[in-house]
Copies of this chain bind each other. A is one copy, B any other.
């Protein structure tokens, strides 16, 4: 048993040896994703896709609860439409895929495969919005987008990825800004409560904001290796797009006005975030809310009288309330233990002859491998409690990792030293000049992740140039 356990684990490169290799080993071994014949595009396999379905279901519910409606826009954008908003096209044109032929005919105008759909939503809004009575428009779409990235990694950066993009239109700037903030809060709540990933909420600096946005808000998470992952963004556009696309509405004052706009999105990148926040050398650890299998039932000494029957009875009694799997295959219990640990199943339920005698079973939580006994007649409550423990345990550990990897830097030398020795978040003051951001990238290897909403005063002076500081920035190395 111990040997087999070991054999399973051997196939995964230890984190400390090579984190990148560890990551791809997990993705492959846990059958989350596979490479495809299309360079830079990934196949999302059933186990990986089931995580995405759970993410979608929860988020979609949160969006709808707040009045958002789903729609579907075309996947193609005519070149002339993409070009309507100057900053937007500059940001995206270099990395789009171009369709030039339909069948054997050359198209009159090239179409790009959507890298994001602001232009399509604006074009539609210009058709359907006439009066303040038509506002707000609170639309969202689940789809795939394409960005022609040079270096790719499954879930983290691929040429095609799945996401949702919310696009909303409001009567006033205040309403639009409130929506931008609200959706960032939704993302933060989702990450913390359901994915057990602590995040820092903040605003991007001008150099890091979305092409065409007035302001970009972000949630930033810290991975196990100390690198940052931008996990969701929410943008405020002002009326820039509305002007570029001629979206106008008759206001309460009987005058024509331009509406104010937002967009916000999260993607399959969150799956990369789950892997890198929670996983260990034995494999994945999945937060219960999105785990395809929340409880795996493993019969022990299953050839013995009554064991399989009992295991099946437990399975039947649990399947209404949990995503539960019974593995009654011929593999050894040891092999199964290792297999489902590797797959990150939050809770293992073992049931053997002795347990049955005592009216109990064994529960083992994945995140700390802690064993406990549970009475069969209160199993549902015990399991719900254990899954809660797993979520809390994962969250606490991730938060501790972030705390252990967060430093403050007061001057450039200190910044360089911290960055050379560690990966993590570095809090430091900034004067607001993009030149200082560039310099910090160059000499300290860190980029600005965000200006956190919760500001602290590390010093009075910019960490880079020494001039008076405007805000505290969180710096780091990013995925």
A-to-B contact residues, CB < 8 Å: 34, 36-38, 41-46, 49-50, 52-53, 69-78, 81, 93-104, 111, 113, 120, 123-124, 127-128, 139, 143-144, 146, 148, 159-160, 162
| CB–CB A75/B160 < 8 A | yes
If A37-B78, A37-B123, A78-B37 touch, does A102 touch B70 (CB 8 Å cutoff)? no
Residues in B with CB closer than 8 Å to A144 are 72, 75, 143
| CB–CB B104/A36 < 8 A | no
Residues in B with CB closer than 8 Å to A162 are 72
| CB–CB A38/B78 < 8 A | yes
The 25 sampled A-B contact pairs (Cβ below 8 Å) are A34-B124, A34-B128, A36-B120, A36-B123, A36-B124, A37-B123, A38-B76, A38-B111, A41-B74, A41-B76, A43-B71, A43-B124, A53-B70, A74-B160, A75-B75, A75-B146, A95-B102, A96-B103, A97-B101, A97-B102, A99-B99, A102-B148, A102-B159, A103-B148, A143-B144
Copies in the complex: 2
| CB–CB B94/A70 < 8 A | no
Starting from the known contacts A38-B77, A75-B113, 17 additional A-B residue pairs (CB-CB under 8 Å) come to A34-B127, A34-B128, A38-B74, A43-B74, A44-B71, A46-B71, A46-B139, A49-B69, A49-B70, A50-B69, A53-B70, A72-B162, A96-B102, A97-B99, A97-B102, A97-B111, A102-B159
CB distance from A174 to the nearest CB of B (A): 25
A98 to B327, alpha carbons, bound, how many Å?
A: 45
Residues in B with CB closer than 8 Å to A36 are 73-74, 120, 123-124
| CB–CB B100/A100 < 8 A | yes
| CB–CB B43/A73 < 8 A | yes
8 Å CB contact of A94 from B38, B52, B104, B146: B104
A283 to B403, alpha carbons, bound, how many Å?
A: 60
Chain B: CB-nearest residue to A76 = B38
Can you list the 7 inter-chain pairs with the closest CB atoms, starting with the nearest?
A41-B74, A46-B69, A102-B148, A44-B72, A98-B101, A38-B74, A100-B100
Residues in B with CB closer than 8 Å to A75 are 41, 75, 113, 144, 146, 160
| CB–CB A42/B102 < 8 A | no
Residues in B with CB closer than 8 Å to A128 are 34
A440 to B177, alpha carbons, bound, how many Å?
A: 63
| CB–CB B74/A42 < 8 A | yes
A42 to B120, alpha carbons, bound, how many Å?
A: 11
8 Å CB contact of A37 from B81, B96, B143: B81
A104 to B112, alpha carbons, bound, how many Å?
A: 12
| CB–CB B100/A101 < 8 A | yes
A44 to B95, alpha carbons, bound, how many Å?
A: 27
Residues in B with CB closer than 8 Å to A69 are 46, 49-50
Residues in B with CB closer than 8 Å to A37 are 78, 81, 120, 123
Residues in B with CB closer than 8 Å to A94 are 103-104
Interface centre among A42, A50, A146 (most CB of B within 10 A): A146
Residues in B with CB closer than 8 Å to A159 are 102
A96 to B50, alpha carbons, bound, how many Å?
A: 30
CB distance from A131 to the nearest CB of B (A): 14
Chain B: CB-nearest residue to A100 = B100
A115 to B72, alpha carbons, bound, how many Å?
A: 18
